[in-house]
A and B are shown apart, each in its own frame.
Chain A
Amino acid sequence: IQLTQSPSSLSASVGDRVTITCRASQGISSYLAWYQQEPGKAPKLLIYDASTLQSGVPSRFSGSGSGTDFTLTISSLQPEDFATYYCQQLNSYPLTFGQGTRLEIK
């Protein structure tokens, strides 16, 4: 299953609302997770089951979608949110990740 994220990169300012999309090549129900990765660090789980916030993740992060189309929204960007974001499908093996969306400071 291929995952296509858009955009590949995004410039935004602190306080902005941003949305990243992830499209699956076939239906994956709600078995989608989102991760945040800062340079030189391991990925961090943000959301699973398409819309469930991982414990400890700020509520400004939210996810939605099912089937083939999914979104990650950050309601009000904070300085620590500038990183790369990946979606991952967990519906079937082999598991796959999107190509990533790099979120940069404008």
Chain B
Amino acid sequence: QVQLVESGGGVVQPGRSLRLSCAASGFTFSSYGMHWVRQAPGKGLEWVAVISYDGSSKAYADSVKGRFTISRDNSKNTLDLQMNSLRAEDTAVFYCAKESSVTGTRDGMDVWGQGTTVTVSS
């Protein structure tokens, strides 16, 4: 079945780095744009980043621009998020999500992973 599984979360000190991964299965990964969305404890959803189906186009939330980098490996069906210069306010559950349509972002995100928790604390 269609599935996304995140990994790589953990506890990290402020200023340090962490790399999240998302393993995709059950669909043609290379045909879909992919997103990262996060949710701070007790808060709402915050979109983080997107990468196009072929990796040629990326966009970021202002809150992470210059610190986070989204990437993908279509040969391994994996999506990554490299997070540098982490701050306490980056503490959240991070979800990877698949675009609903091969035509782009505008039909929403129809498959989500279970989330991986990142805690930034000294």
Residue ranges of A at the interface with B (Cβ–Cβ < 8 Å): 31, 33, 35, 37, 42-45, 48-49, 52, 54, 86, 88, 90-91, 93-100
Contacts and interface: CB of A to CB of B under 8 A. Distances in A.
Interface residues of B, number: 23
Contacts of A48: 100, 106-108
Contact of A43 (B59, B61, B105, B112): B112
A53 to B, nearest CB: 12
By DSSP majority rule, is chain A's interface helix, strand, loop, or mixed?
loop
B113 interface: yes
Contacts of B108: 33, 35, 45, 48, 54, 88, 90
Interface of B: 35, 37, 44-47, 50, 59-62, 95, 100, 105-110, 112-115
A94 B108 CA distance: 14
